Amino acid sequence: MIRVVIDTNVVVSAALNDDGLPAAVLSLAIDRAILMFVSTAVLAEYETVLHRPRLKLNPKRIRAILADIRNASRLVHPTGIVAEIKKDDPDNRFLECARAAAAEYLVTGNTKHFPETFETTTIVTPKQFVELVLPLLAQRNEETDG
pLDDT digits (tens, 9 = 90+) for 35-91: 999 999 999 999 999 999 999 999 999 999 999 999 999 999 999 888 677 677 788
pLDDT score for 146: 60
pLDDT score for 137: 79
- Mean pLDDT, residues 94-115: 96
Structure confidence at residue 134 as a pLDDT band (50, 70, 90): confident
Q: How far apart are CA 95 and CA 92, in angstroms?
A: 5
SS (H, E, C) the chain: CCEEEECHHHHHHHHHCCCCHHHHHHHHHHCCCCEEEECHHHHHHHHHHHCCHHHCCCHHHHHHHHHHHHHHCEECCCCCCCCCCCCCCCHHHHHHHHHHHCCCEEECCCHHHCCCEECCEEEECHHHHHHHHHHHHHHHHHHHHC
- Mean pLDDT, residues 90-119: 95
Q: Which of 120, 38, 36 is nearest to 78 (CA)?
A: 38
pLDDT score for 8: 97
pLDDT score for 14: 98
Contacts 24+ apart (CB under 8 A), 141-145: none
Task: Show the domains of the chain with their CATH numbers.
Answer: 3-141 (3.40.50.1010)
Q: Is the pLDDT of residue 145 over 80?
A: no
The pTM assigned to this predicted structure is 0.93
